[in-house]
Amino acid sequence: MRTAKITRKTAETDISVEIGLDGTGRYDIATGVGFFDHMLDQLARHSLIDMTVRCQGDTHIDDHHSVEDVGIALGQALAKALGDKRGIRRYGSCLLPMDDALVRAALDLSGRPYLVWSVDFPTQKIGGFDTELVREFFQALSTHGGITLHVDALHGINSHHIAEAAFKAVARALRDAVETDPRKADAIPSTKGAL
Ligand SMILES: [Mn+2]
């Protein structure tokens, strides 16, 4: 089974993350940030990656450290669970509508972190959540997961919908990319022989 557990403790956050790539999208998420929990629920549910996430962070300052550091830990967990990436499809993409919002995600589990982020939010906040933290999360996930990740919002007028569509689009793309390809089950999907 392709699973990983990461614990990460700093002066700002205390995090544990457990994932199973070959899961059914079961989730148990408690980060101390309500809207972020809602987004991670979507990420697990739509990637079919089982996820348990716990974060105790300095949310008395703001949500920034908690969101960024969970992104770091989840990225590290993904990289660890993927191992040498033998047999994976490697690429994934998704064009995901949610009411007014339409978000495109394309990713490559290349080992080369690169984020292209073209998502504008019409409001600075979703409830008490800073919309700029959505990018911070995906930047951390990309950097620490070794993921080339492109996310473009093609349309959207509601910030909650845009954020949720982004998480769901990345989730669906991840689902495809981490899946093993039965035609190439023993091969590392690169002409270089390593990812
Ligand atoms: Mn929602």
- Indicate if the pLDDT at residue 1 is higher than 90: no
The reply to whether 183 falls in a domain is no
Mean pLDDT of the chain, nearest integer: 97
Contacts of 19 (CB under 8 A, 6+ apart): 3, 4, 49, 50, 51, 52, 74, 77, 78, 81
CA of 144 to the centre of ligand 1 (A): 26
Segment 14-29 mean pLDDT: 98
For strands 148-155 and 114-118, give the pairing. parallel
CA of 161 to the centre of ligand 1 (A): 7
CA of 80 to the centre of ligand 1 (A): 30
Cβ–Cβ < 8 Å for 35, 12: no
Q: What is the CATH number of the domain that holds 33?
A: 3.30.230.40
The runs of H, that is alpha helices, within 28-103 are 34-47, 64-82
The reply to whether 114 falls in a domain is yes
Q: Give the Cα separation of 166 and 92 in Å (integer).
A: 14
The reply to whether 186 falls in a domain is no
CA of 52 to the centre of ligand 1 (A): 20
pLDDT at residue 185 in the model? 77
CA of 105 to the centre of ligand 1 (A): 18
Please tell me the total count of domains within the chain. Answer: 1
Question: Residue 193 — pLDDT band, cuts 50, 70, 90?
Answer: confident
CA of 38 to the centre of ligand 1 (A): 7
Cβ–Cβ < 8 Å for 69, 141: no
CA of 140 to the centre of ligand 1 (A): 22
Question: Residue 86 — pLDDT band, cuts 50, 70, 90?
Answer: very high
The reply to whether 187 falls in a domain is no
The reply to whether 188 falls in a domain is no
- Indicate if the pLDDT at residue 71 is higher than 90: yes
The reply to whether 191 falls in a domain is no
pLDDT at residue 140 in the model? 98
Q: Give the Cα separation of 82 and 33 in Å (integer).
A: 28
CA of 66 to the centre of ligand 1 (A): 20
The reply to whether 184 falls in a domain is no
- Indicate if the pLDDT at residue 186 is higher than 90: no
pLDDT at residue 146 in the model? 98
pTM (whole model) above 0.85: yes
Question: Residue 64 — pLDDT band, cuts 50, 70, 90?
Answer: very high
pLDDT at residue 84 in the model? 95
State which residues form the domain around 81.
3-178
CA of 183 to the centre of ligand 1 (A): 37
> Among residues of the chain, what percentage have pLDDT more than 90?
92
The reply to whether 94 falls in a domain is yes
From first CA to last CA, the distance across the chain in angstroms is 20
